[in-house]
Amino acid sequence: MTPTRYCRFLHEGRAHPGRIEGQEVVVLTASPWAGGKETGLRRSLSSLTLLVPSEASKVVCIGQNYRKHAEEMGKPVPSEPLLFIKPSTALNGPRSPIRLPKASQEVHYEAELGLVIGERLKNADEATAARAIWGLTCINDVTARDIQRREVQHTRAKSYDTFACVGPWAVTGLSPADLRILCRVNGQVRQDSRTSDMVFNPAQLVSFISHIMTLLPGDLVSTGTPSGVGALAAGDMVEVELEGIGTLANPVEMEP
């Protein structure tokens, strides 16, 4: 299957789904996993404000899913996936700023492969889970590390508005098994790994999650970050790049 890029974009105050063809976006009637059809309208990709590529009810995230990251955090490699959730209010699109909260003095980037779920899923085996992964995207799981250390729990540290950066689009027809994953801050490479280094692969993760909670079309699964996480500062530009998908870029600023 040829990889295909899909996006959501803002036009005249409304969000629209589209399929990217070269430097144009073919506007769709609905989300592609919901059977959206072509409207006949086309927009120039460079003229659009891109949004998070799916309207997720939740972002299910995986902790310590790369062995070297577990080591740098001083944590054991989990015997089963370690889950936490980011709320939909944390979602943040391409080029939209990450806002550093005044409550934290150490906010980190975390480059991750994102999975877009394409169907309602409950108690799925791994084969069914693999088929339910509609597309792949880039995620920056922004984290208030000092708060995480103090509280042990992940919720507050992971859930600030703008802390779930996703995009710039989602790609179908691409295997998640062995993709290069990079994070750059101000052009300097900070993380460089491959998705083949995950402890639990995407199908295992989605199957495991589906036995706990129902996954809905458009939901996102963030599959964990490799080693090399570090702090962000106001004025930085952070980029998450995944082979075959693209580059998600977000500026960093202090919250107002």
Tell me: cis bond preceding 76? Omega within 30 of 0 counts: no
Cα separation, 212 vs 198, in Å, equals 21
**Residue 73 predicted with pLDDT over 80:** no
| C-alpha to C-alpha distance for 43 and 20, rounded to whole angstroms | 9
Where residue 13 falls (left for φ over 0; alpha for ψ -120 to 50; beta otherwise) is left
Q: What is the pLDDT of residue 128?
A: 98
Q: For the chain, give the mean pLDDT.
A: 96
27 has pLDDT over 80 = yes
Show the beta-strand stretches assigned E in the chain.
4-11, 14-21, 24-28, 38-44, 49-51, 59-63, 82-86, 91-92, 98-100, 107-109, 111-117, 133-141, 143-144, 164-172, 180-185, 188-194, 220-222, 230-231, 237-242, 246-254
3-state secondary structure of 33: helix
φ, ψ of residue 76 in degrees (nearest 5) = -75, 155
pLDDT in tens, 182-232: 999 999 999 999 999 999 999 999 999 999 999 999 999 999 999 999 999
Span 155-176, pLDDT tens digits? 999 999 999 999 999 999 999 9
Assess contact for 78 and 96: CB atoms under 8 A: no
Burial (CB < 10 A; 0-12, 13-18, 19+), residue 149, is exposed
Q: Which CATH architecture has domain 59-254?
A: Alpha-Beta Complex (3.90)
| pLDDT band, residue 76 (cuts 50/70/90) | confident
Class for domain 4-51, per CATH? mainly beta
Q: Which of 208, 249, 216, 211 has the alpha carbon at shortest distance from 232?
A: 249
Helix (H, G, I), strand (E, B) or coil at 79: coil
pLDDT digits (tens, 9 = 90+) for 109-135: 999 999 999 999 999 999 999 999 999
- Could you give the CA distance from residue 232 to residue 75 in angstroms, rounded to a whole number? 22
Domain ranges of the chain: 4-51, 59-254
**pTM to 2 decimals?**
0.96
Q: Tell me if domain 4-51 and domain 59-254 are identical in fold.
A: no
Q: Given this model, what pLDDT does residue 72 score?
A: 81
pLDDT band for 153, please (50, 70, 90 cuts): confident
